[in-house]
Amino acid sequence: MYPLKRNRRLRANKAIRSLVRETIISPNDFLVPLFIVEGKGVKEEIASMPNYYRYSLDLLEAEVKELWKLGLKSVLLFVKVPDNLKDNKGTEALNPDGLMQRAIKTVKNVCPDMLVMTDVALDPYSSFGHDGIIENGKIINDDTVDVLAEMSLSHAQAGANFVAPSDMMDGRILAIRETLEDEGFVDTGIMSYSAKYASAFYGPFRDALDSAPVDAQEIPKDKKTYQMDYANRFEAIRETEMDIDEGADIVMVKPGLCYLDIVREIKNEVDVPVAVYQVSGEYAMLKAAAEKGWLDHDAVMLEQVTAIKRAGADVIASYFAKDVVKLIS
């Protein structure tokens, strides 16, 4: 007795597999992280992130043009702040002529239609490498939120389409939303890092921005008092729902691959777009394994981003974005 239904009929060749494929990757899925530094003519490879670079503003222009030609229409900006401009309160973050503010204007000048999102957190500006102001060895929530709201306003004034608070302070989405509304920036969106876990996968990113927490007495050596415990699942839903109630337009899960169960949980619960950040450690691991010849770089890269989208991601922030788009085109 032979089966009437043979599932392998739909796998018989490339044409039929493509025809019935459930998850399709396109340039529209990606948000491209960009690292910006002061200077001129600077394109520095990040040692722990092979083939990924920090750009000075003049070379940022060429990179943005290339992204647009590839069909990549959204960028997420991060800045590497000189040490002499760092302090405990992130004062430089509010400088209207700061590196972030100039980077926003640079992108918009060279490509007005590019969607610009900006990182909102104090760690690049903090002399302690933390996402908040420190007093008596503790991260102070409410004073930090005040600065984050002003920082978001400064980015909106410079031309950002979305601000992306990545700090995990309580109540910051509402404070940012109210500040933007009060100042007339009603169309500026918020992509909240709603379920950001205290992960060991962030190391190369902190190298890229020189933003790792300092090893000093009485100051936390990690971010576990504000980023989420990676053992927790339902907490992610609570955090995400609170951010939506406070005004978040897009919510994010970070990191990616180890948290796909969280992505699906949140996607099933909310009615706003869900973003996933495929973080620096995930990027670096594949690069290292491919360099050793242990993995097929392109095959694994495509499998990873497909898995992230299949899990429920509407937006994928990924350092692989250019590589993926070049491959699928």
The answer to whether the CB of 42 falls within 8 A of the CB of 59 is yes
∠ CA 214-219-221, nearest 5°, is: 55
> What's the N-to-C CA distance of the chain in angstroms?
45
Is residue 51 classed as helix, strand or coil in its secondary structure? strand
Within 8 A by CB and 6+ apart from 215, the residues are 221
Task: State the CB neighbour count (10 A cutoff) for residue 71.
Answer: 12
- Tokens in use for 307? 């898995």
The answer to whether the CB of 177 falls within 8 A of the CB of 246 is yes
Report the C-alpha gap between 313 and 136 in whole angstroms. Answer: 39
Helix (H) or strand (E) holding 316: strand 315-318
- Catalytic site residues? 196, 254
For 52, which DSSP code?
A: E
Please, where are the H alpha helices in the chain? 14-19, 57-69, 99-110, 141-158, 172-182, 203-209, 234-246, 260-269, 280-291, 297-311, 321-328
Per-residue burial over 95-128, b if 16 or more Cβ lie within 10 Å, else e, is eeebbbbbbbbbbbebbeebbbbbbbbbbbbbeb
* φ and ψ at residue 8, rounded to 5 degrees: -70, -15
